[in-house]
Amino acid sequence: MLISDAVHIWREPGGDYHIEWQATHPDTEVTVELLAEGSAMQAHYAEQPARRARLSGLAPDIRHYFRLRDQHGTEVLATERKFGMQGTPNFRDFGGYGTADGRQVKWGYLFRSGQLSSLSAQDLILLASLNLDLVCDFRRVEEQESEPSRLPQQRPRVASLPIIPGSNSRFFEETEIQVQGREPMFDFMLEINRDFAEGQTATYARMFREILALEDARFLVHCAAGKDRTGFAAALVLLALGVPREMVMRDYMLTARYFRPELELERLQRKYQMENMDADAIMPMLEVHEVYLARALEAIGRNYVSVEVYLEQALGVGPAELAELRSRYLD
């Protein structure tokens, strides 16, 4: 049987779509159908050895949805999670996940990414097609001013929500990061993620207020790389919607698939004046590891009896706010 939470779709910058899926049995047969007005594109695949499809020739400036169906009648409606943006590699939809009570987070409402300062003209067309209402920018004010976001002509509301410890060079000095080996930076990243949960509650509380202030807002949360500050933000939203922790972690770890640390190393060294620092010692800051987010979730569990209590007491997201979020963003 087709596993609904194990369908993965992404688009290359050139426009080709890749569709991957998993099933509970190797004899599962899967039909992939493009959902588009007047379209009859359909392909049939067996689970073994084909667990993926590649579709070419689709319009690059709109978002395409697909229906996957197995021979048992299980259907999955899915679209690309990661967008083929030329100027920001980690732009993705974090909808589509199942909740503990059997519902599903809507596609096309919740997005996450890295910086938007280098978007191409084609990227802007695609971004405009998403009809965003709100952009939450977690970068420091200096980052926002030195690398301003490129946005469509019909600009969404932009909420400046700077999270400082995640990318503040002074924080390196305060924590006495050493230049030899990976361990000091790795430990530093663990400390940052703990701080997201314990020390940045006012900012993440404001994120929820900004979302709730706009009716049925389609929103984007982003920082510089779209992995740490943004990763915790997306985790909070998914947990508030009732997505199980293992699925939240799966979404978090997709950054490891889309974000190439080696391509960002030189930029990071220039940004924080770390040209003389050993590259291997810096890499944990560019990588994503389950233990990073796990450290933030452990901090919540250590101080609160449940995530729901944390959301209410630390972030002001109580039963009424949870009900509103779930009515908006769950099918």
Tell me: the pLDDT tens digits for 189-208?
Answer: 999 999 999 999 999 999 99
Which pLDDT does position 176 carry in this prediction? Answer: 47
Which pLDDT does position 49 carry in this prediction? Answer: 56
Which pLDDT does position 240 carry in this prediction? Answer: 98
Which pLDDT does position 257 carry in this prediction? Answer: 85
Which pLDDT does position 12 carry in this prediction? Answer: 75
User: What is the pTM assigned to this prediction?
Assistant: 0.86
Domain covering 89-329: architecture: Alpha-Beta Complex (3.90)
Q: Which of 223, 234, 243, 317 is catalytic?
A: 223
Token pair, residue 194, equals 């703990």
Across the chain, mean pLDDT equals: 86
136 is catalytic: no
Which pLDDT does position 74 carry in this prediction? Answer: 87
CATH class of 1-80: mainly beta
CATH 2.60.40.10 in the chain is located at 1-80
Which pLDDT does position 166 carry in this prediction? Answer: 46
Task: Please report, in tens digits, the pLDDT of each residue of the chain (331 residues total).
Answer: 777 677 888 777 667 888 888 888 888 888 888 886 545 555 655 545 568 888 887 877 677 888 888 888 888 888 888 888 889 989 999 998 989 998 999 999 999 999 999 999 989 998 999 999 999 999 999 999 999 999 999 999 999 999 986 444 444 554 445 556 788 889 989 999 999 999 999 999 999 999 999 999 999 999 998 999 999 999 999 999 999 999 999 999 999 988 876 666 666 666 666 656 667 777 888 889 999 999 999 999 999 999 999 999 999 999 999 999 999 999 9
Q: Which of these, 20, 16, 24, lies nearest to 32 by C-alpha position?
A: 20
CATH 3.90.190.10 in the chain is located at 89-329
Residues 6+ apart with CB under 8 A from 146: none
